[in-house]
Structure 1
């Protein structure tokens, strides 16, 4: 009986150490382009709060953000975060921004 309990604990330990309980995703971030065609275009300013987003001072929903930015061709976007913003909120915003073609995103510190 003792050896059976040892084997069960070893199997339990093995499966606990080899299992993956969460999946991690990746978001590609590219460095900000210096100069070029984007230098003459005035950048847009996105303020990310814990619950709201403001694009150039106007409140905007996360769902409609990509549609608004897709209307503008070759846009630079500066993203500013408040102290209360969680990293998951930033990842959600960057995932939406990733789908916009021709958008250069810079996250401010």
Structure 2
């Protein structure tokens, strides 16, 4: 006869091996690199991210105001390339919050400058 603890361990092993682990969220990220001169149908914006500040093309913007800032993108442009530069004191959570907001805007291509 099998003891109860053996049955519990077998059940535990079964559920551990049969469970699947899913990712809760993914943020696509590409690093900026040297490239060609580019085509004329791509607009470019420079975003500076600090611990408490956020600037788009030199103008202060709030994190919640980003969709309105990029809403006036010209309809002729296929996409808007956003180059993100981070200050040294920026946390990973702050960058993730920014990327989640930018990901919700259509026709954006996001590149993050590496240090």
In the alignment, what sits opposite 2:39? 36
Q: 1:31 to 1:83 in 2, by over 3 A?
A: closer
Q: Comparing both structures, which one devotes a greater share of its residues to helix? A: 1
Relative to the length of structure 2, the TM-score reads: 0.65
Relative to the length of structure 1, the TM-score reads: 0.68
In the alignment, what sits opposite 2:100? 95
Tell me how far 1:18 sits from its aligned partner. 4.3
In the alignment, what sits opposite 1:24? 24
Which segments of 5 or more consecutive residues in structure 1 lack a partner in the other structure? none
Q: 1:68 to 1:16 in 2, by over 3 A?
A: same
**Does 5-14 or 22-31 show the bigger shift?**
22-31
1:79 aligns with 2:80: no
Would the aligned equivalents of 2:48 and 2:86 in 1 still touch at CA under 8 Å? yes
Q: Report how many residues are paired.
A: 107
Which segments of 5 or more consecutive residues in structure 2 lack a partner in the other structure? none
2-structure distance, mates of 1:46, 1:53:
7
